[in-house]
């Protein structure tokens, strides 16, 4: 099969289709190269498949017409089909051997002895003369005579009417363009800022509903839109309405990116793809996971990722990236004055999760002195529901759990990065009182209460005991005041716990040297009410319990200091090591730390 050039650079030229796949486009790698701006790099292809020739549009900008109809998928070609590629038109014809096949068959029939008929040339000549005379007489009889002085009639060919000017029911007649006519300026001119890669990226980026509606999308978003040189309100993604039917020039502009321009047809029902904008040379597109990271060059904030950096001159730089909840990352980048560069960073999270269960429930949870939430009771169990603290700073943190009665427990937890730490905090405080039918009364921490009415209590020694429903006369939850009273009674009966007043009496009963010899370097559990609290630059807090006793607490948190200073506090329990009594008779306890009240 062959292509005959009907309109283009070489009209009448015959192009044989010698390859199974014949490509047409602006790229030099095509079989037929058409170097014209309206022709895409890979415009269309003609291929032989299963004994049939087919044509396919390769997502070209201005499309392919087969017999004046635009194609959207593969079409079978037949001899005599007309193919239009922008301003070029081709005729699909058979090879020379096939065109002469009918004449060869007629000659072959005569050779087999079929009868031949002589052509009556004389009679045909007489018939032609008679028809010519009839035509001449008809023109003389029916043609209107020109009046004297009138000018010769002229024939004028008017331009085809626009589609909206046609009468209802009439189809527009396509205009005939001769080879000498000039193509429209927007068909033959290219933007000076427009590269071949840009024009290729414009392949099918638009949609229209056929009623002047046009959707524009770009990657990245936020590009300015110009239609026929007029700036439109808004940025991509953008819907343009009430556009006139026909061709329009659309241009996208975004700072740091090359301008992208193309010609669109309204209406055009083909599928759309976002327009890919190309970076300008000397720019760097920096993305991070997660996004929203602050990018710094020395002390200058460049912006937030995803970020296109176009304010740095070509060269090497060291940037600092600080992501939300992520470790600080320093990266080396290079700004290239020949092409735009891209970089993607994966930032390591500096956050973790903490899941806390308290026993009993109704406990406030503090992390680094900040209130994080309250644990809620769980039906039928003494322990609380899980309190989930998500996206907290990883590493060692001060944790404090405080019951509504004022009893608290504190300690340190190590929260892992990008992982979850599960902790159960038990405050050994009495929460319930059970009265039995035999008049016995038990007080302890509620561990379980099932649907049958059975109860499990843990006493102050840590022993758990189950009471069945038939044994129980009444079960009562203790108030906060009752809990505080029971805690004070336990503390006063604790022989291993020294009060500050007991410590002072011991100091007065012996000489200073004997006290230091017997107690220096030993660690004791003590209880007392703080007075003045003083902190130094090294983070050590000195708590004055009396005129004769002071204790040094390293790393005491602000929340713990506030708790000690609270007027309502009944005192604190702590452990400390005796450093000794000085010459003025003042006892100093070092390396002190708070312990659980119960």
- Work out the percent of the chain whose per-residue pLDDT is above 90: 24
| Residue of higher predicted confidence among 537 and 180 | 537
pLDDT over 70 at 73, yes or no: yes
Instruction: Check if the beta carbon of residue 317 is closer than 8 Å to that of residue 335.
Output: yes
Question: 81 vs 9, 56, 69, CA distance in Å?
Answer: 20, 14, 11
Segment 154-172 mean pLDDT: 40
CB-based burial label for 185 (10 Å; 0-12, 13-18, 19+): exposed
pLDDT digits (tens, 9 = 90+) for 495-545: 567 888 888 888 888 888 888 888 889 888 888 888 888 888 888 999 999
CA–CA dist 390, 392 (Å, integer): 6
Q: What is the pLDDT of residues 301-324, one digit of tens each?
A: 999 999 999 889 999 999 999 988
Does pLDDT of 263 surpass 50? yes
Phi, psi of 562 (to 5 degrees): -65, -35
Maximum C-alpha span of the chain: 162
Q: Quick one: pLDDT at residue 220?
A: 87
Q: What are phi and psi of 491, to 5 degrees?
A: -65, -40
Banded pLDDT at 285 (limits 50, 70, 90): very high
Nearest to 62 by CA among 15, 9, 25: 25
One-character DSSP codes across 76-123: E--TT-EEEETTEEEEEE--HHHHTHHHHHHHHHHHTTPPP----HHH
Q: Which domains, from first to last, does the chain contain?
A: 2-93 (2.60.200.20), 214-276 (no CATH), 282-346 (2.60.40.1120), 351-426 (2.60.40.3070), 432-492 (no CATH), 496-594 (2.40.50.140)
Spatial neighbors of 156 by CB under 8 A, at least 6 apart, are none
Q: What is the dihedral of CA 578, 583, 585, 591, to 10 degrees?
A: -20
Complete edge-to-edge strand list for the sheet that includes strand 387-393: 387-393, 351-359, 420-426
The span from the CA of 550 to the CA of 544, in Å, is 5
Q: How far apart are CA 216 and CA 472, in angstroms?
A: 76
Q: Is residue 1 over pLDDT 90?
A: no
Burial profile 521-537: b = 16 or more Cβ within 10 angstroms, e = fewer = eeeeebbbebeebeeee
Higher pLDDT, 96 or 74: 74
Coil/strand/helix, residue 414: strand
Return the DSSP state at 337. S
Residues 6+ apart with CB under 8 A from 525: 496, 497, 498, 573, 574, 575, 595
- Please give the angle made by the CA atoms of 204, 280 and 30, to the nearest 5 degrees: 45
Q: What's the confidence (pLDDT) of residue 387? A: 94
Q: At what angle do helices 500-509 and 512-519 cross, to 10 degrees?
A: 120
User: pLDDT (tens digit, 9 = 90+) per residue, 79-117?
Assistant: 999 999 988 999 999 877 665 554 444 444 444 444 445
CA distance 439 to 276: 85
Q: What pLDDT shows up at residue 270? A: 56
Tokens of 449: 């209460």
CA 295, CA 324: separation in Å to the nearest integer? 12
What mean pLDDT do residues 476-490 have? 84
pTM, two decimal places: 0.43
pLDDT digits 0-9 by tens, 331-342: 999 998 888 899
The percentage of the chain sitting over the pLDDT mark of 70, rounded to a whole number, equals: 81
pLDDT at position 200 is 43
- pLDDT at residue 144 is higher than 90: no
Between the alpha carbon of residue 490 and those of residues 336, 476, 495, 511, 597, the distances in Å are 75, 20, 10, 32, 10
Strand 549-554 relative to strand 587-594: parallel, antiparallel, unpaired? parallel
Does the pLDDT value for residue 288 go beyond 50? yes
Q: Distance between CA atoms of 58 and 228, rounded to whole angstroms? A: 26
Please tell me the predicted confidence (pLDDT) of residue 496. 64
Average pLDDT of the residues of the chain: 80
Q: Answer for the pair 587, 549: CB distance below 8 angstroms, yes or no.
A: yes
Contact 352, 394 (CB under 8 A): yes
Range scoring the smallest mean pLDDT among 76-80, 449-453, 490-494, 503-507: 490-494
Backbone angles phi, psi at 454, to 5 degrees: -75, 150
Hey, how many other C-beta atoms are within 10 angstroms of the C-beta on 483? 23
Cα–Cα distance measured from residue 465 to residue 434, given in angstroms and rounded to the nearest whole number: 11
The average pLDDT across 202-231 equals 73
């Amino acid at each position: 099969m062959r292509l005959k050039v009907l309109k283009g650079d070489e009209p009448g030229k015959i192009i044989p289709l010698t390859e199974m796949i014949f490509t047409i486009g602006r790229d030099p790698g095509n079989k037929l190269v058409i170097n014209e701006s309206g022709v895409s790099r890979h415009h269309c292809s003609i291929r032989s498949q299963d004994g049939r020739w087919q044509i396919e549009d390769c997502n070209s900008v201005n499309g392919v017409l087969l017999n004046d109809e635009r194609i959207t998928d593969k079409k079978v070609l037949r001899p005599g089909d007309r193919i239009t590629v922008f301003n070029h038109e081709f005729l699909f014809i058979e090879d020379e051997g096939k065109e002469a096949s009918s004449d060869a068959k007629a000659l072959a029939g005569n050779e087999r002895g079929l009868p031949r008929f002589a052509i009556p040339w004389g009679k045909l000549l007489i018939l032609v003369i008679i028809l010519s005379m009839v035509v001449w007489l008809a023109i003389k009889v029916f043609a209107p005579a020109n009046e004297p002085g009138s000018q010769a009639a002229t024939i004028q060919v008017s331009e085809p009417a626009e589609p909206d000017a046609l009468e209802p029911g009439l189809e527009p007649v396509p205009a005939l363009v001769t080879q000498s006519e000039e193509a429209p300026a927007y068909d033959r001119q290219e933007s000076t800022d427009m590269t071949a890669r840009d024009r290729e990226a414009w392949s099918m980026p638009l949609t229209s509903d056929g009623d002047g509606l046009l959707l524009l999308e770009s990657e990245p978003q936020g590009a300015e839109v110009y239609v026929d040189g007029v700036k439109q309100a808004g940025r991509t993604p953008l819907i343009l309405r009430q556009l006139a039917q026909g061709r329009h020039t659309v241009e996208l502009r975004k700072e740091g990116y090359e301008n992208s321009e193309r010609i669109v047809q309204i209406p055009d029902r083909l599928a759309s793809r976002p327009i890919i904008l190309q970076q300008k040379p000397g720019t760097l597109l920096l993305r991070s996971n997660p996004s929203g990271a602050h990018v710094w060059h020395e002390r200058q904030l460049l912006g937030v990722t995803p970020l296109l950096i176009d304010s740095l001159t070509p060269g090497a730089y060291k940037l600092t990236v600080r992501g939300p909840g992520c470790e600080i990352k320093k990266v080396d980048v290079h700004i290239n004055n020949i092409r735009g560069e891209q970089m993607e960073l994966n930032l390591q999270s500096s956050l973790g999760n903490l899941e806390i269960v308290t026993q009993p429930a109704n406990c406030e949870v503090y992390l680094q002195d900040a209130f994080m939430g309250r644990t809620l009771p769980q039906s039928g169990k003494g322990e609380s529901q899980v309190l989930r603290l998500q996206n907290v700073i990883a590493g060692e943190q001060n944790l404090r759990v405080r019951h509504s009665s004022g009893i608290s427990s504190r300690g340190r937890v190590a929260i892992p990065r990008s992982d979850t730490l599960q902790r159960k905090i038990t405050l050994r405080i009495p929460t319930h009182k059970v009265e039995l039918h035999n008049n016995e009364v038990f007080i302890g921490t509620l561990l379980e209460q099932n649907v049958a009415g059975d109860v499990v209590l843990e006493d102050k020694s840590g022993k758990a005991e189950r009471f069945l429903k038939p044994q129980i006369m009444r079960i009562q939850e203790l108030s906060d005041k009752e809990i505080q009273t029971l805690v004070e009674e336990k503390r006063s009966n604790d022989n291993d716990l020294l009060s500050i007043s007991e410590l002072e009496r011991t100091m007065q009963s012996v000489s200073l040297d004997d006290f230091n010899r017997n107690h220096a370097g030993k660690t004791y559990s003590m209880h007392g009410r703080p007075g003045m609290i003083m902190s130094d630059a090294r983070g050590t807090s000195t708590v004055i319990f009396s005129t004769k006793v002071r204790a040094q607490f390293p790393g005491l948190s602000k929340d713990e200091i506030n708790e000690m200073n609270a007027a309502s506090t009944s005192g604190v329990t702590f452990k400390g090591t005796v450093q000794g009594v000085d010459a003025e008779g003042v006892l100093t306890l070092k390396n002190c730390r708070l312990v659980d009240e119960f």
